[in-house]
């Protein structure tokens, strides 16, 4: 953590420096992004703001024209509001200087970083990629760092995740797993101004492929696992493209933390080979050849304990967050902590109290006949791990699953999740899960075809709250797995986000209703018999 304390004292007291238009051009030129430019007219104008949304334009703005749906009218609106130059891959018929670039996403990343005065270079940046476990690992790391930094200077840790974004000034529910480069730098700037030292973030395959994290150097980068996901005509055309996109994180990382417990040895070898692009590799897993490995794993109730051996200590770890698969996520967090030389006591304390909202949240009714587990599991690998853990932990219980699939992307999930639920659930309840421009009924029918194909039972209930309620009311002595939405408060329907209750709230309400109808009725009958 040397870099943090070398630079921070001077940083926090300095106002954000503003740059002239020609300086942005020079920066883009140094990154070999300039095709042509004609900024002579306004080259010495001090840029007051950089943005890519015409609604955010102010006087003397450098406007970035990005997006496949971008229209010339957006640029004209920006000019009216004060834009004095624009960056684009296309030249438009407007009377302000144009900076024509070869890659608009890279250009946005470069000018955003410059505009916010390079905050991601100041912070200790931790990036996490993989198909499953990114959010939980991020919150494990945050909890460890919060424990440590509380002792150092009383601050906490910034986080950008698929659940929530926190930067010391703001805390908001996420829409994307990884934000646009502009938002990342904005959050990082807020974190620096809030005196924070660390930022941990999920890094999606799309963010790496589309250069949302271009120009960021990760002091520690985690590669958790890999399995087919996000395969569609608007995301990744095939698994190789998805995999290769994930691997790009090692082109911009100092320390690579790699999970040795990957199911496919060929995939693991490929990850380890790419990780050589980093300055250092730290491996983790439940195998003894890992740098950070777990052994003597024990489960007691909802808690899991294990011993962990690292280059610096060999001691006990306690996880109070349910799910045996979380051991790997905890080991990833420990590997990052080892790279940062965080003391064992902070690692232990951080993992003991760590929580990830909407991840493996467990609720029961009064007589514990029903166990409802709310989790964000939404792809093949996360479903596999969830069923594996549930079957081990609740061997005598029926398994009921409530889920849906999003509209417009990740189409492969409909097959994968339908098959897995059909094979592992006594009954599946299919419902809405951000259908977007598609009909919920059509998505559910497609999934149902795969459930049926493997001999599974299912019901389609489009209203998500009703689906959760029905699953709970109809299935005593069961584990009800409610997946996909966690603590999200919105459903994407059409092109807008509609407010809704969280899966946690739906589950709690349904469990109360079950107790009111069945347990109270039973108690009343007992009283009558006694009389």
Q: pLDDT tens, 427-452? A: 999 999 999 999 999 999 999 999 99
CA angle 251, 228, 217 (to 5 degrees): 20
Question: What is the mean predicted confidence (pLDDT) over 461-467?
Answer: 96
pLDDT at 256: 98
Question: What is the mean predicted confidence (pLDDT) over 254-282?
Answer: 95
At 523, the pLDDT band (50, 70, 90 cuts) reads low
pLDDT at 520: 63
Residues 24, 111 contacting (CB under 8 angstroms):
yes
At 5, the pLDDT band (50, 70, 90 cuts) reads very low
pLDDT at 528: 45
Question: What is the mean predicted confidence (pLDDT) over 451-478?
Answer: 96
The full set of domains in the chain, from first to last, is 13-115 (3.40.1390.10), 119-353 (3.40.1190.10), 361-517 (3.90.190.20)
Res 411 pLDDT > 80: yes
Residue among 254, 200, 198, 215 nearest 8 (CA): 198
3-state secondary structure 479-526: EEEEECCCCCCEEEECCEEEECCCHHHHHHHHHHHHHHHHHHHHHHHH
Q: Say how far apart CA 443 and CA 429 lie, in whole Å.
A: 13
Q: Say how far apart CA 83 and CA 64 lie, in whole Å.
A: 10
Give Cβ neighbours of residue 474 (< 8 Å, ≥ 6 apart). none
Question: What is the mean predicted confidence (pLDDT) over 370-399?
Answer: 90
Res 14 pLDDT > 80: no
pLDDT at 349: 97
Residues 365, 493 contacting (CB under 8 angstroms):
no
Give Cβ neighbours of residue 95 (< 8 Å, ≥ 6 apart). none
pLDDT in tens, 481-515: 999 888 888 899 998 889 999 999 999 999 999 99
Residues 88, 49 contacting (CB under 8 angstroms):
no
pLDDT at 473: 95
pLDDT at 371: 94
pLDDT at 275: 96
Proportion of the chain above pLDDT 90, given as a percent? 74
pLDDT at 9: 46
- Distance from first CA to last CA of the chain, Å, rounded? 72
Question: What is the mean predicted confidence (pLDDT) over 172-177?
Answer: 75
Q: In angstroms, how far is CA 219 from the centroid of its own chain? A: 18
Q: Say how far apart CA 368 and CA 70 lie, in whole Å.
A: 54
- The more confidently predicted of residues 386 and 232 is 386
- Could you count the other beta carbons within 10 Å of the beta carbon of residue 334? 30
Residues 143, 353 contacting (CB under 8 angstroms):
yes
Q: Say how far apart CA 407 and CA 424 lie, in whole Å.
A: 24
Q: Say how far apart CA 291 and CA 309 lie, in whole Å.
A: 8
Question: How far apart, in Å, are the Cα atoms of 355 and each of 193, 241, 330?
Answer: 26, 33, 12
pLDDT at 301: 76
Return mean pLDDT, the chain: 91
3-class DSSP state of 235: coil
pLDDT at 64: 97
Residues 464, 432 contacting (CB under 8 angstroms):
yes
Question: What is the mean predicted confidence (pLDDT) over 370-396?
Answer: 90
Res 32 pLDDT > 60: yes
3-class DSSP state of 36: strand
pLDDT in tens, 111-133: 999 999 999 999 999 999 998 88
């Amino acid at each position: 953590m040397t870099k943090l304390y070398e630079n921070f004292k001077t940083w926090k007291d300095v106002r954000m420096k503003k740059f002239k238009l020609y300086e942005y051009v020079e920066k883009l030129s140094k990154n070999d992004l300039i095709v042509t430019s004609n900024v002579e007219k306004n080259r010495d104008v001090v840029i007051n703001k950089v943005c890519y949304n015409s609604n955010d334009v102010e006087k003397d703005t450098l406007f970035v024209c990005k997006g496949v749906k971008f229209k010339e009218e957006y640029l004209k609106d920006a000019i009216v509001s004060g834009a004095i130059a624009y960056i684009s891959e296309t030249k438009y018929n407007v009377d302000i200087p144009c900076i024509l670039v070869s890659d608009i996403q890279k250009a946005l990343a470069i000018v955003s970083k410059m505009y916010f005065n390079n905050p991601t270079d100041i912070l200790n940046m931790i990036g996490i990629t993989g198909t499953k476990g990114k959010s939980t690992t991020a919150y494990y790391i945050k909890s460890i760092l919060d424990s440590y930094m509380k002792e150092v200077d009383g601050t906490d840790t910034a986080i950008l995740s698929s659940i929530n974004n926190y930067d010391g000034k703001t805390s908001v529910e996420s829409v994307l797993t990884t934000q646009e480069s502009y938002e990342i730098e904005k959050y990082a700037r807020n974190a620096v101004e809030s005196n924070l030292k660390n930022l941990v973030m999920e890094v999606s395959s799309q963010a790496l492929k589309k250069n949302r994290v271009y120009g960021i150097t990760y002091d520690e980068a985690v590669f958790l696992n890999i399995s087919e996901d996000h395969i569609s005509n608007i995301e990744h055309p095939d698994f190789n493209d998805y995999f290769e996109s994930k691997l790009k994180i090692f082109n911009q990382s100092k320390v690579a933390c790699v999970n040795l417990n990957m199911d496919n040895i060929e995939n693991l070898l490929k990850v380890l080979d790419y990780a050589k692009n980093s300055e250092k590799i730290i491996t983790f897993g439940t195998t003894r050849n890992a740098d950070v490995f777990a052994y003597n794993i024990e489960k007691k109730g909802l808690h899991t304990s294990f011993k962990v051996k690292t280059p610096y200590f060999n001691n006990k770890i306690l996880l109070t967050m349910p799910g045996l698969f979380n051991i790997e996520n905890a080991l990833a967090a420990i590997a990052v902590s080892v790279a940062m030389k965080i003391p064992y006591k902070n690692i232990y304390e951080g993992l003991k109290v760590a929580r990830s909202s909407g991840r493996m949240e467990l609720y029961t009714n009064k007589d514990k006949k029903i166990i409802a587990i709310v989790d964000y599991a939404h792809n093949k690998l996360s479903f596999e791990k969830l069923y594996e853990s549930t079957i081990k932990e609740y061997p005598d219980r029926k398994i009921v699953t409530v889920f849906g699939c999003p509209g417009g992307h990740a189409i492969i999930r409909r097959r994968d999740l339908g098959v897995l639920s059909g094979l592992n659930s006594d009954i599946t309840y299919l419902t809405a899960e951000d259908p977007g421009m598609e009909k919920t009924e059509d998505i559910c029918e497609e999934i149902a075809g795969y459930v049926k194909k493997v001999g599974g039972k299912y019901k389609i209930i489009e209203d998500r709250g009703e689906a959760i309620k029905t699953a709970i009311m109809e299935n005593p002595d069961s584990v009800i797995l409610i997946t996909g939405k966690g603590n999200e408060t919105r459903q994407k329907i059409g092109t807008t986000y509609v407010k809704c209750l969280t899966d946690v709230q739906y589950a709690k309400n349904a469990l109360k209703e079950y107790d009111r109808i069945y347990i109270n009725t039973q108690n009343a009958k007992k009283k009558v018999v006694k009389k």
